[in-house]
Amino acid sequence: MQTNNENLKIAIQKSGRLSQASLNLLKNIGLNFEIFERSLFVKCENFPLEIILVRDDDIPEMVQDFVVDLGIVGDNVIIESSSEVVDLMSLDFGKCRFVIAVTNESRIKKLFDLNGKKIATSYIATLRSFFEINKIKAEIIPIKGAVEVAPSLSMADAIADFTSTGSTLRAHDMKEIYEIYKSEAKLISNPKTLKIKEKKNYIDKLKMRIEGVLYAKKNKYIMMNAPEKSVAQIVKILPGVDSPTVVPLNKKGMVAIHSVVPENIFWKVIENLKAVGASGILVSPIEKMIM
């Protein structure tokens, strides 16, 4: 398999935690395709793109080696593989943290207590380089899967693993003592692909669509009525796209204001708007926002 100038190829995880979110993202940016149960290659009907479904561990190397042009994969897999890829953008899913954890009754309390101890992990290269940088002399015990059982089987004194909800650690009476890094799904490419003008143009189009979808996901559209005299205060409160749209109303001294508010500060903004006289605040989701 070798990439060519006609179609872009993107590798995504076939089956696992990133699969559905990766497919949803591709659908949300308007790509039409149909996946059958055993599909490994899927052609988009309305964009020069082929989707290739593989194990996530293979994605960084496939992208690095120009077998595919793009990939969607977690930072963790990229770091562990030490493949040379270009990080195009964060995709806001697949979020997790690589942490060191110990059993609740362990005497290991902080990072440097790990000196001389055994640490189980599936991410050997990542942990080795972390220990080297931090000058920790510990023995790494490689384990594939179910790393959290290692301390109870006396195979290790601590583990280094990913966590998202924390429920796996809690279920095994373990607690985290140190966060090594945060990971999320990334769109990646390689320098060779990005030098091919036609491919780069299509990648830029995909990126613009993805940015539009991510922006929409993180923001809400709001409309409200307000006294004209409060407009200056309201403009200060609204962190909107540019400046809000202000429309005069039939009722004297009143205006309607439209704007966009980031999800993470939404309630604070609404409280502040109400405090300066905004009323009838309507909130709706944004489908896409193209900057």
Residue numbers at the binding site for ligand PRT (CB under 6 A): 13, 16-18, 55-57, 74, 76-77, 94, 96, 161-168, 183
Q: Does 157 bind Zn ion (CB under 5 A)?
A: no
10 or 261: CB nearest ligand PRT? 10
Q: Does 57 bind Zn ion (CB under 5 A)?
A: yes
60 or 244: CB nearest Zn ion? 60
18 or 269: CB nearest ligand PRT? 18
Per-residue mark of binding to Zn ion, 37-56 (x: CB under 5 A): -------------------x
Q: Shortest Cβ distance from residue 81 to Zn ion (Å)?
A: 10
- Joined together, the tokens standing for residue 193 give 């692909």
137 CB-near residues (< 8 Å, 6+ apart): 115, 116, 131
72 or 273: CB nearest ligand PRT? 72
Query: Any idea what DSSP says for residue 58?
Result: G
Q: Shortest Cβ distance from residue 55 to Zn ion (Å)?
A: 5
Residue 2 contact among ligand PRT, Zn ion, none, beta carbon within 5 to 8 Å by kind: none
- Joined together, the tokens standing for residue 32 give 């039409």
Considering only CA atoms, which of 78, 59, 22, 70 is closest in space to residue 190?
Answer: 70
Q: Shortest Cβ distance from residue 174 to Zn ion (Å)?
A: 22
Q: Shortest Cβ distance from residue 73 to Zn ion (Å)?
A: 9
CA distances to 14, 48, 55, 82, 87 from 60, in Å: 14, 22, 10, 8, 11
Residue 13 contact among Zn ion, ligand PRT, none, beta carbon within 5 to 8 Å by kind: ligand PRT
Q: Shortest Cβ distance from residue 58 to ligand PRT (Å)?
A: 8
For tokens 């491919």, the residue is 199
Q: Does 75 bind Zn ion (CB under 5 A)?
A: no
Phi, psi of 143 (to 5 degrees): -135, 135
CA distances to 10, 46, 85, 116, 173 from 7, in Å: 10, 12, 20, 52, 50
Q: Where are the beta strands (DSSP E) in the chain?
A: 8-13, 41-43, 49-54, 70-74, 86-90, 96-103, 118-121, 139-142, 158-163, 174-183, 185-189, 219-227, 245-248, 254-262, 279-285
Q: Shortest Cβ distance from residue 58 to Zn ion (Å)?
A: 8
Give the residues lining the site for Zn ion (CB under 5 A): 56-57
